[in-house]
Structure 1
Amino acid sequence: MLGYILRRILAVIPVMLLVAVFVFLLLRLTPGDPAAIIAGDMATPAQLERIREAMGLNQPLHIQFVTWVGQLLRGDLGVSLISNTPVATMVADRIGPTFSIAILTILMSVAMAVPMGVLAAWKHRSAADYAVMTFSVLGFSVPVFVIGYIFILIFSLQLGWFPVQGYTPIGSGVGAFLSNAFLPALTLSTIYIALIARMTRANMLEVLGEDYIRTARAKGAPERTVLFRHALKNAAVPILTVIGSGFALLIGGVVVTETVFNIPGIGRLTVDAILARDYPVIQAMILLTSFLYVLVNLLIDLSYSFFDPRIRY
């Protein structure tokens, strides 16, 4: 097991190195002069040269890369070209809301989607199965922002159960946090509930036809034990893949939801940085999203071995 873990961790290093090279070249090879962006259109050549020297842009590429990696290892993500604020500070201020909404979304999605998928597979070709499949189609078809506005109309404006917009940190109280975070998380979870439920149903249908399931039933095992202990455990590997990939995509893909519900997260920070061509912030967000995606996939790979020990070898 230790050897399997070490192999998976070592496999992450070249991936992150390639990502670092791509992000580094993004600033250097993209059309436009970062020094001109900082100094403005009226800058003189002497001013531009001083800015390039201060940023190290006049050095050879390999020297710039080594210097930049050294700064990353020290936690220095650079300074915003627009606000002159350290990028690490900007990310730290924005990552909390995004992480909180993403975690709540995944918890809600798994709690609802897995039982729905198991029920649909167990009651194959019944009304329950058709209902789950209909919801899955709708979850994939309706845009997230439309679902968000529908939830705001029903739960906020008509029923008055939740605020229309805003965000409250969990440190201010769980109740206040859930009051603001529930609707955004429910909005995001619709597509993931549809995806996870569909994947759970498909894999459960395959597993329920196996010989060991018939053997367990023949021995008199309760149906709940057959479904959750035998069938779901053996169908868990592809389901875990979808859940983990969904969480990684949530971190970088909550822009629409953060805009609809006015949540100050990293999705909106990324969009603002792209529109302003704030390269250090864009670099930091690509690095962060890539690192989280690789980390989540690493954790998924490691979790496989607990459900299927054959993967370790």
Structure 2
Amino acid sequence: MFGFVVNRLLATIPVMMIVTIFVFLFLRLAPGDPAAVLAGDNGSPQQIIEIRERLGLNQPVLVQFGTWILGIAKGDFGKSYFFKKQVSELILLRVEPTIALATTTLIITILVAIPIGVIAAYKHDTWIDWIIMTLSVVGFSIPAFVLGYILIYLFAIEINLFPVQGYKPLAEGFWPFLHQLILPSLTISAIYIALIARITRASILEVLGEDYIRTAYAKGLKPNSVLLKHALRNAAVPIVTVIGIGIALLTGGVIVTESVYNIPGIGRLIVDAVLNRDYPTIQAIVILFSFFYVIVNLLVDLTYSLLDPRIRY
């Protein structure tokens, strides 16, 4: 196990190097000049040249890349062109809302998706199964930003049950913190609930046809015991895989949802950075998201051995 973990961690090094190269080059190839954005609409060509020199954008691409990599090796992601702060400082200021939103979304998703998936499998080919699967298709089909505006209109404007936008830190109290996150979390979780519920249903149905399930029923075990202790445990590997993928993909949902609900998190930060061609901020956030994706995949692989004793590393 230890050797497997070490090898996987070492394998992240070339992966991250490839990511850094692609991110760096794609930003330089994309249209738009950070110096022109900073100079503004009334900026003169001379001002743009001076800004490019000050930011080091007039240097050869290889020199810029080497300087950036050396900075990362020292733990320095550079200084933001637009926000005029160190990128690491910006990320630390914005990371709490994003982690809070992702955590509440994940909790809601797991608490809702797995039970309704198990129920749909147990009641397959009934009206309960049909309703759950229909709602799953609807939830998976509606874009996050559309669902966000629908929820805001219904529950924040019409009913006035939740706040429209913003974020409350945990330090201001647990209920204000949670109250502010419920609508954004529901907006993101709708897609993942639909996906995980369908995978759970399919996995449980496959397991329910096995001989040991029939043997468990023949021994007189209650349906709840058979479903939870036998069927769900043996169907857990594909379910955990999808949950892991969902955690990694949360970054995309967070970016859209934070913009809709005006949450000052990493998602809003990267949107502002892209709009203002803030290269250091974009590069740092993409690298952090990529590293997070790799770590989540590693944790999912390690979880397999806990769920299925036959899996050894």
Q: Deviations over 1:258-302 (max 9, x none)?
A: 222211122222122111111111111211221111111111111
* Counterpart code for 2:309: P
Distance 2:284 2:299 in 1: 22
Shift of 1:6: 2.5
Alignment TM-score, normalising by the size of structure 1: 0.90
Task: Name the counterpart of 1:244.
Answer: 244
Shift of 1:10: 2.6
Task: Verify the 8 A CA contact 1:168 1:176 in the aligned structure 2.
Answer: yes
SS of structure 1 residue aligned to 2:163: coil
Unaligned segments of structure 1, at least 5 residues? none
Shift of 1:102: 1.1
Q: 1:230-241 alignment to 2 at 5 Å?
A: 230-241=230-241
Shift of 1:230: 1.2
Task: Verify the 8 A CA contact 2:137 2:194 in the aligned structure 1.
Answer: yes
Task: Name the counterpart of 1:107.
Answer: 107
Task: Name the counterpart of 1:216.
Answer: 216
1:198 corresponds to 2:212: no
1:3 corresponds to 2:13: no
Give runs of ≥4 in structure 1 deviating > 6 Å: none
Distance 2:283 2:272 in 1: 13
1:42 to 38, 41, 44: 44
* Counterpart code for 1:310: R
Q: Deviations over 1:137-171 (max 9, x none)?
A: 11012222232223223322333221111110112
Distance 1:64 1:155 in 2: 49
SS of structure 1 residue aligned to 2:118: helix
| RMSD, aligned α-carbons | 2.4
Per the alignment, do residues 271 and 216 of structure 1 end up closer, same or farther by CA in structure 2, a change over 3 Å counting? same
Task: Name the counterpart of 1:58.
Answer: 59
Task: Verify the 8 A CA contact 1:98 1:265 in the aligned structure 2.
Answer: yes
Q: 1:1-313 alignment to 2 at 5 Å?
A: 1-30=1-30, 41-44=43-46, 48=49, 52=53, 55=56, 58=59, 61=62, 64-313=64-313
Distance 1:67 1:266 in 2: 25
Q: Deviations over 1:109-135 (max 9, x none)?
A: 110010000011011111211111011
Distance 2:58 2:225 in 1: 63
